[in-house]
């Protein structure tokens, strides 16, 4: 099976061609990304209108490039079985650009279209490179989300916990902004933290002792802003605060994941289940190291996608679409023509919780 994937939900335009062989081997034939970071940097965050326009300007060229790179490996547009595009959640203008492009492409080539939940892309991204079996425990830590999920199968997710305010990546970004580190803040804060003393500043521990798997980062954000204003005078002070903040975020991820691991083990009898960490924050080395140690302690196998698949990319969207398409196609009542027609009515959704049972967008007409 060969699928063209399109991603445009935030500030990356991305197109990819992914192939899965009959034996299950997954091959990323191309994965091209245009990041808008420089366009948004001046504003200290993503500006939706600028993002949408940039998607419009780049998507044609990116698609051409992704198809060309796949063709160089012997897979042409004629070999595609379906088109998958992010249909939400995300900035609606951007989502609509990618989804509309995908619809046009699918229509012109008579291909089915799969509307993919962006979070599902992150959830399954690990399967691009690792043969991870269901069920597995997932920590999704990105710019807009911070969730613990039990991934039982394709389209079957149980949310164990989520953030009650900011996402972990958002906390990195906002605190970095307060410290004048620029955008995006996560990588900048990590660089700065390298020379800092993580024990220098005491920061609050949110939701400590709570019996659920929820997260909260707003108290940490406020405390860090206060320290930044009152106590950060030298570059060393700043590095120390960055290191302290990074340690505090990592610690909360560890504490809540530990809780989820206990719950997961109670509900499942898998020998050594996988603990998958996906989303941009998984790129953070301190976070990775501590979560790896935690997984070892609790009898989980720590797995994280390579960094290129941790942040937004279209290969994960192509794969999620491919997995759904494979299931649909295997169903006894599968009608290719009807599926092709119906798939064009997929709608863009600004909000779309991953644990909602319906994994594919609802058609407009009902």
Q: What is the contact surface with ligand ATP in residues (CB under 6 A)?
A: 9-10, 90, 118, 122, 142-145, 169, 172-173, 184-187, 190, 279-281, 283-284, 311-312
Q: Does 118 belong to an annotated binding site?
A: yes
CA contacts within 13 A on the Cβ side of 269 = 0
Q: Would the annotation count 190 as a binding residue?
A: yes
Per-residue contact string for residues 291-330; x = within reach of Fe ion by CB under 5 A: ---------------------x------------------
Give the residue among 244, 254, 14, 214 at the shortest CA–CA distance from 122: 14
Q: Which residue has the tokens 């992704």?
A: 66
Residue 34 near which of Fe ion, Mg ion, ligand ATP, none (CB within 5-8 Å, type-dependent): none
Find the radius of gyration of the CA atoms of the chain: 21
Q: Which among ligand ATP, Mg ion, Fe ion, none contacts residue 313 (Cβ within 5 to 8 A by kind)?
A: none
Which residue, 3 or 317, is less far from ligand ATP as judged by CB?
317
Phi and psi at residue 264, in whole multiples of 5°?
A: -60, -45
Q: Is 18 helix (H, G, I), strand (E, B) or coil?
A: strand
Q: Which is nearer to Mg ion, 125 or 343 (CB)?
A: 125
Considering the complex, state which of residue 255 and residue 312 has its C-beta at the smaller distance from Mg ion: 312
Based on the shown chain and the rule CB under 5 A, indicate whether residue 120 belongs to the binding site for Fe ion. no
Cα-based distances in Å from 363 to 17, 249, 308, 315, 339: 25, 40, 32, 25, 12
Please tell me whether 55 is known to bind a ligand: no
Tokens 């700065």, residue located: 192
Q: 140: annotated binding-site residue?
A: yes
Helix (H, G, I), strand (E, B) or coil at 305: coil
What residue is closest to ligand ATP based on CB? 280
Spatial CB neighbours of 270, under 8 Å, sequence gap ≥ 6: 133, 135
| List of residues contacting Fe ion (CB under 5 A) | 142, 312
Residues flagged as binding site for substrate? 140-144, 173, 186, 190, 284
Residues flagged as binding site? 118, 122, 140-144, 173, 186, 190, 284, 312
């Amino acid at each position: 099976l060969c699928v063209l994937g399109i991603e445009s939900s935030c500030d990356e335009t991305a197109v990819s061609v992914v192939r899965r062989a009959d034996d299950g081997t997954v091959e990323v034939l191309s994965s091209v990304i245009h990041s808008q970071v420089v366009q948004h940097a001046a504003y200290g965050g993503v500006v939706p209108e600028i993002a949408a326009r940039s998607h419009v300007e780049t998507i044609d060229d990116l698609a051409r490039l992704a198809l060309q790179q796949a063709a160089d490996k012997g897979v042409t547009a004629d070999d595609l079985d379906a088109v998958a595009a992010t249909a939400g959640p995300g900035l609606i203008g951007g989502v609509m650009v990618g989804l509309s492009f995908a619809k046009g492409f699918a229509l012109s080539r008579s291909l089915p279209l799969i509307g993919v939940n962006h979070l599902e892309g992150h959830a399954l991204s690990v399967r691009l490179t690792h043969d991870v079996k269901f069920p597995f425990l997932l920590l999704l830590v990105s710019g807009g989300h911070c969730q613990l999920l039990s991934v039982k199968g394709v389209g079957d997710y149980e949310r164990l916990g989520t953030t009650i305010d900011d996402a972990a990546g958002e906390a990195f970004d906002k605190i970095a902004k307060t410290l004048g580190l620029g955008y995006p803040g996560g990588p900048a804060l990590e660089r700065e933290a390298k020379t800092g003393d993580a024990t220098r500043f005491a920061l609050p521990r949110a939701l400590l002792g709570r019996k659920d798997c929820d997260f909260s980062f707003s108290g940490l954000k406020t405390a860090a802003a206060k320290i930044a204003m009152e106590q950060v005078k030298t570059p060393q002070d700043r590095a120390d605060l960055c290191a302290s903040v990074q340690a505090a975020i990592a610690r909360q991820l560890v504490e809540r994941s530990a809780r989820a691991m206990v719950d997961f083990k109670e509900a499942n009898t898998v020998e050594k289940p996988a603990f998958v960490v996906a989303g941009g924050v998984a790129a953070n080395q301190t976070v990775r190291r501590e979560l790896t140690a935690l997984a070892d302690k609790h009898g989980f196998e720590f797995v994280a996608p390579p960094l290129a698949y941790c942040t937004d990319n279209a290969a994960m969207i192509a794969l999620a679409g491919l997995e759904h398409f494979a299931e649909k196609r295997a169903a006894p009542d599968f009608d290719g023509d009807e599926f092709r027609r119906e798939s064009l009515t997929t709608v863009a959704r600004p909000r779309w919780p991953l644990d909602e049972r319906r994994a594919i967008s609802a058609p407009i007409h009902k």
